[in-house]
Amino acid sequence: MDSDDESFEEHDSGNVSSGDDDFAMDVDINNPRDRGQETDEYPYDVLTTDEIVQHMVDCIKDVNTVVEIPATITRILLNHFKWDKEKLMERFYDGDQDKLFKDAHVINPFRKPSLALKPKIKKSRTEDCEICYSTFPPSMMTGLECGHRFCTQCWQEYLTTKIVEEGLGQSIACAAHGCDILVDDVTVMRLVQDSRVRLKYQHLITNSFVECNRLLRWCPSADCTYAIRVQYVDPRPVVCKCNHVFCFECGENWHDPVQCKLLKKWIKKCDDDSETSNWIAANTKECPKCNVTIEKDGGCNHMVCKNQNCKHDFCWVCLGSWEPHGSSWYNCNRYDEDEARAARDAQERLRSTLARYLHYYNRYINHMQSLKFEHKLYAAVKEKMEEMQQHNMSWIEVQFLKKAVDILCQCRQTLMCTYVFAYYLKKNNQSQIFEENQKDLETATETLSEYLERDITSENLADIKQKVQDKYRYCEKRRKALLDHVHEGYEKDWWEYTIN
């Protein structure tokens, strides 16, 4: 690669790699090995930020050895094609090169610069900056291949604003109005003198490289600076060096057995509905005529629908038409009327959809909250393990407690995801088997959780150890049976979904 690459080879990447976590009680939720799914079936690498930068440099070198254009332009072209080298090479040799460079917002390096692009130097050997309208000697003016030149001070202020305030890295365009030619990284590093701004820019370039590259993904764990590199995109679990396990395709916590598309819909639905659903169920009803949701804001049971196209008068208590109620303004006694019964039936049907959602949502949230408590259990278990070693037990003999908490967390995570799967699942014979497997795993998981919360003394140590070991082995088997059944259903097309 030519010298243009020095801007990344000689500077910090803008991130700090986190070291390996040596804490002995790390959570290992949903390890991909648990279902007989060895990690070498889905090859991937965990990269530090320095390795990410080197990977970017290597990608540029690979393309440059073939196309032989400046590395700065190669970097912009690769970013335009989301770092797909094969796609870039195909377009470069098989398509219209002028259109290729234009679409990528760079000047074609194979075209000689037009006379119109040469700097306008006055007889006094000076140039005018069209931003600050000051006059400078040519040495204090600079620009891009598009021919737009401004003073170095204006360039520095412009680039600093774009980087610091707007957070732009790869997509900074020329400072000239209406010009979409992109500023290359070498120009940025040459013009920007503030080390903090340069570091911010390098961080943005690194981040853009990962986010644009479909074969790379940042670890979503808080404060983690590692990225995962794969050979092909698949909804598979990957394990970061920080021990976080997530789905490479969607970036969410590993969510077996539910598929990415259903989990995405569920998360969106929860974000939209969960905050208001309970309040709606408790405080509102639907107009029996137009189904608009109505809140009762006074003591009178005589309701008038606010929908301008409806204006229906009805009773809040029985949902029947108000007209037959006569003077019974505050005490409805007409519960058996046909009209009121029909209105209540319609109301029940409308509420059943909400009730069904809340059924699955509450259980999903319950396991999520229990999982957070289970994480706290690691600290307590660590103390118990130290205490048990004082009762003449070896370090190996007390590892059953950590193993039990690992499996408990795995089961909680799986159960949480099963309620997402179940919410969208249509009823059939196989869904009934799934629900039985779900019930068995849930019962065993709750029992294991109770065992781990008991006080351990020298008197009950042997009994507790045997019960915990037996139960976590059973939980492991039930979890595997549930996941195997769901995946068999995927392979044999057993599952049908109700997508609202």
188-240: pLDDT as tens digits:
999 999 999 999 999 999 999 999 999 999 999 988 999 999 999 999 999 99
Query: Which residues are tagged catalytic?
Result: 300
- Residue 346 CA to residue 238 CA, distance in Å, equals 48
Q: Which two tokens stand for residue 245?
A: 């396990």
Domain 357-492 has CATH 1.20.120.1750: yes
pLDDT for 371: 82
Q: Are 228 and 45 within 8 A, CB to CB?
A: yes
Q: Give every residue of the chain whose pLDDT is below 50, as ranges.
A: 1-6, 9-11, 13-30, 32-40, 115-116, 328-331, 334-335
pLDDT for 248: 96
Residue ranges matching CATH 1.20.120.1750 in the chain? 357-492
Strands 284-286 and 216-218, bridge-based pairing? unpaired
Q: Are 227 and 215 within 8 A, CB to CB?
A: no
- Residue 218 CA to residue 210 CA, distance in Å, equals 7
Main-chain dihedrals φ then ψ at residue 238, nearest 5 degrees: -125, 145
The 3-state DSSP class for residue 44 equals: strand
Q: Which amino acid, 440?
A: D
Residue in 107, 119, 74, 112 with CA at minimum distance from that of residue 180: 107
Q: Which amino acid, 485?
A: H
pLDDT for 113: 61
pLDDT for 370: 86
- Residue 206 CA to residue 14 CA, distance in Å, equals 8
Distance (Å) of CA 148 to CA 102, 161, 213, 453, 477: 17, 19, 31, 71, 69
To the question of pTM greater than 0.85 for the whole model, the response is no
What is the per-residue pLDDT across 292-340, written as a single tens digit (0 to 9) for each?
878 777 667 778 888 888 888 887 777 777 776 655 444 455 445 565 6
pLDDT for 395: 73
pLDDT for 273: 64
pLDDT for 282: 58
For 42-109+126-254, which CATH superfamily applies? Zinc/RING finger domain, C3HC4 (zinc finger) (3.30.40.10)
